[in-house]
C-alpha cells in the first residue's frame, strides 16, 4: 500500500477544515485535506455570525467570500405572537465585525475549499478515511479514493473537521451523549416570493410558535429571492404530524400566523430534509497527535447560528497551538485549546438553554429594554461569546438569571 506524508492532515473540507488549512498554510505547513463528499454539496447552517469574518480574514479568504455574491446580513429579528424585535449587530458591546452574510452552504463551503487550495493546501474530494492509527511514531490513516487503490497517509498532526461525520470520535470511542433534550429539525429551501418591504432580508428571522415556547422557526433569506426555512422542536412534537416531510413542515409553518402570511406565495420546489438528535459531545477535544474542530467535537443547537463561528474559533485556536508545538514549545492542549474553546461554547449554551425555557425570550421581547444590556446581548448574538469584557460573557449564568427575573416581574 502506498504511503504519503504531510505536516498536517485535515479530515473534512467544510468551514473548520478549510479555514484551518488557510491558517496553517500561512505558517508554511504542508497541508493535506481529505473530504469524503464531492463539493459543492448540501449542508445546513446558512446564517453566519459577524465574528466569523475575523477568521475568514485571518485565513486570507476575505476577498473570496466578499466577491461570491452572498446575501448581506447585519442582524437578527425575532417574532413571537405578534411581537417583533430585532438586533443590529453593528450596534454591539464588543468591537469587531458587525456584518456578515447568509449563504447557501454548498456554494460557501466550496468557495472556502477553493480558497484553501489557492493558498497551497492539497484538497482531495471523495477520499474517505477508513481507519486511524496513533500507535506509531506518527499518526496514520488509511484512505479510500473514488478510484484506484487504498493508500496510507502519515502526518505529524491530524485535525478532525468532519462535522457530523465525526470520524475520530467514532473511531477512537470519544463520543458521549449530549445533555440536551433530543430535538429535531425539518427544513428546506423555497422561492419565497415575499413582497418587498415586508421582510428585512438583511437579517435572519427567528419565529417562536404562538403556543409552544420550545418550538421555533428559522427564515434565512438568500440573494436571488430564495430562503432557507426550517422548524426545530422536540422529537415527540415533530412526530405527531403525518404525511411527507414537506407536508409536515408546511403544517407546522401554518400554525404561526406571521410566518404563514409571509410565505403565502412561496414556491416549495426543493426536497425537504430532516435531522434528529443533532446535539453531540465528546469525552475530549484533543489527544496525542490530534484535535477535534467544530461539530466533530460538540454541537449545541442551531437557534443562534453559532455552529460555523465555533468551527472557525476552533480552527484558529488549534492552528495557534500547532504553530507553537512545531516550534518546539510544550503545548498544554487542554489549557490552550479545549478550555478557551469551551468557554465560548458554554456562553452560547447558557443562552440556548434559557431560550428553550422561555426566560431569554422574555428578555428579548421585553417592552422597555436597557440599551446597554441590549448591546451586550447583541454582541453575543453576533458571535462574540469569548469576550470576557462583556459581563454577559464573563458571568453569563448569574447575569442572565438576574435579567430573566427582572423581565418576568
DSSP for 35-94, please give it. ESSPSS---S--B--THHHHHHHHTT-HHHHHTTTPEEE-EEEEEETTEEEEEETTS-SS
Alpha-carbon gap, residue 11 to 160, rounded angstroms: 5
Per-residue pLDDT of 64-73, as tens digits, reads 999 999 999 9
pLDDT at position 182 is 82
Instruction: Decide: 185 and 230 in contact? Cβ < 8 Å.
Output: yes
Beta bridge partners of 356: none
Q: Answer yes or no: is pLDDT of 279 > 80.
A: no
* Strands of 161-202, DSSP E: 175-176, 183-191
As a whole number, the mean pLDDT across the chain is 95
Looking at 3.40.50.720, 3.40.50.1980, 3.10.580.10, 3.30.9.100, the CATH number of the domain 183-276 comes to 3.30.9.100
Query: What is the share, in percent, of the chain residues with pLDDT greater than 70?
Result: 100
pLDDT bucket at 276, cuts 50 / 70 / 90: confident
Instruction: Decide: 298 and 247 in contact? Cβ < 8 Å.
Output: no
Q: Answer yes or no: is pLDDT of 167 > 90.
A: yes
Query: What is the share, in percent, of the chain residues with pLDDT greater than 90?
Result: 90
Dihedral, 173, 346, 384, 60 alpha carbons, nearest 10: -10
pLDDT bucket at 178, cuts 50 / 70 / 90: confident
Closest CA to 172 of 252, 303, 284, 74: 284
Domains 3-73+98-177+279-344 and 183-276 are alike in CATH topology? no
Alpha-carbon gap, residue 6 to 147, rounded angstroms: 21
Per-residue pLDDT of 30-69, as tens digits, reads 999 999 999 999 998 999 999 999 999 999 999 999 999 9
Looking at 2.40.30.10, 3.40.50.300, 3.40.50.12710, 3.50.50.60, the CATH number of the domain 3-73+98-177+279-344 comes to 3.50.50.60
pLDDT at position 373 is 95
Q: Where are the domains of the chain?
A: 3-73+98-177+279-344, 183-276, 356-408
Per-residue pLDDT, averaged over 265-272, amounts to: 96
Amino acid at each position: 500500500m502506498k504511503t504519503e506524508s504531510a505536516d498536517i492532515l485535515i479530515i473534512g473540507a467544510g468551514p473548520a477544515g478549510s479555514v484551518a488549512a488557510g491558517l496553517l498554510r500561512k505558517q508554511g505547513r504542508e497541508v493535506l485535506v481529505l473530504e469524503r463528499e464531492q463539493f459543492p454539496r448540501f449542508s445546513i447552517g446558512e446564517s453566519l455570525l459577524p465574528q466569523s469574518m475575523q477568521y475568514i480574514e485571518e485565513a486570507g479568504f476575505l476577498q473570496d467570500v466578499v466577491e461570491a455574491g452572498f446575501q448581506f446580513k447585519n442582524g437578527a429579528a425575532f417574532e413571537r405572537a405578534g411581537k417583533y424585535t430585532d438586533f443590529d449587530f453593528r450596534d454591539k458591546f464588543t468591537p469587531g465585525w458587525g456584518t456578515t452574510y447568509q449563504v447557501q452552504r454548498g456554494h460557501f463551503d466550496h468557495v472556502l475549499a477553493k480558497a484553501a487550495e489557492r493558498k497551497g493546501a492539497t484538497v482531495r474530494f471523495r477520499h474517505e478515511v477508513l481507519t486511524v492509527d496513533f500507535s506509531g511514531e506518527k499518526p496514520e490513516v488509511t484512505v479510500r479514493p473514488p478510484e484506484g487503490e487504498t493508500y496510507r497517509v502519515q502526518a505529524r498532526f491530524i485535525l478532525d473537521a468532519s462535522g457530523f461525520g465525526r470520524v475520530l470520535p467514532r473511531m477512537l470511542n470519544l463520543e458521549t451523549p449530549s445533555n440536551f433534550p433530543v430535538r429535531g429539525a425539518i427544513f428546506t429551501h423555497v422561492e419565497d416570493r415575499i413582497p418587498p418591504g415586508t421582510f428585512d432580508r438583511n437579517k435572519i428571522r427567528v419565529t417562536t410558535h404562538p403556543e409552544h415556547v420550545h418550538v421555533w422557526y428559522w427564515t434565512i433569506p438568500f440573494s436571488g429571492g430564495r430562503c432557507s426555512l426550517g422548524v426545530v422542536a422536540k422529537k415527540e412534537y415533530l412526530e405527531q404530524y403525518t404525511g411527507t416531510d414537506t407536508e409536515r413542515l408546511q403544517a407546522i409553518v401554518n400554525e404561526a400566523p406571521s410566518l404563514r402570511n409571509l410565505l403565502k406565495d412561496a414556491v416549495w420546489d426543493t426536497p425537504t430534509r430532516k435531522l434528529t438528535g443533532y446535539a453531540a459531545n465528546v469525552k475530549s477535544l484533543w489527544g496525542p497527535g490530534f484535535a477535534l474542530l467544530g461539530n466533530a467535537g460538540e454541537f449545541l443547537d442551531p437557534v443562534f447560528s453559532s455552529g460555523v463561528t465555533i468551527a472557525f474559533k476552533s480552527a484558529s485556536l488549534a492552528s495557534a497551538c500547532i504553530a507553537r508545538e512545531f516550534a518546539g514549545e510544550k503545548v498544554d492542549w487542554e489549557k490552550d485549546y479545549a478550555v478557551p474553546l469551551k468557554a465560548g461554547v458554554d456562553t452560547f449554551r447558557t443562552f440556548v438553554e434559557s431560550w428553550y425555557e422561555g426566560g431569554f425570550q422574555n428578555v428579548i421581547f421585553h417592552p422597555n429594554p436597557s440599551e446597554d444590556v441590549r448591546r451586550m446581548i447583541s454582541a453575543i448574538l453576533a458571535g462574540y461569546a469569548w469576550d470576557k469584557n462583556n459581563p454577559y460573557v464573563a458571568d453569563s449564568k448569574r447575569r442572565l438569571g438576574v435579567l430573566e427575573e427582572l423581565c418576568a416581574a
